Amino acid sequence: MPVAHDPDDPSDARIASCWSAFLAPLIVGGLGVVFTPIGAVLFVRGRRIQRLRARLWSQGRQVWAEIERVPRAASSRSSRRSRSR
């Protein structure tokens, strides 16, 4: 069994295997590969929304309107109860 140790400090000896040398970096690297794209997508979406809000704040027009009616969608389901309870 191969053993890795520092010649100046032989009390800090460890078993030298491929798994012990590369397992932790492989796990951390794998997590980085998974979560970096997720973070990048969330960052880009946040920046787009931030830029859109800034553009609308500086160039947009405020519009006041009164809602006349809201049509009921044919595909929506509602309870059959009366709202005047």
The length of the chain is 85
Residue 72 within a domain:
no
Do the beta carbons of residue 13 and residue 5 sit within 8 Å? yes
**Max CA pair span of the chain:** 86
Residue 64 within a domain:
no
Supply the pLDDT for residue 14: 79
The domain of 31 spans: 3-59
Supply the pLDDT for residue 27: 96
Tell me the backbone φ, ψ of residue 37, rounded to 5 degrees: -65, -35
Query: Total domain count for the chain?
Result: 1
State pLDDT tens for residues 2-53.
788 778 887 878 777 777 778 889 999 999 999 999 999 999 999 999 999 9
Residue 78 within a domain:
no
Residue 69 within a domain:
no
What is the reported pTM?
0.53
Residue 20 within a domain:
yes
Question: Residue for token digits 């798994």?
Answer: 19
State pLDDT tens for residues 66-77.
999 998 877 766
Residue 27 within a domain:
yes
Residue 42 within a domain:
yes
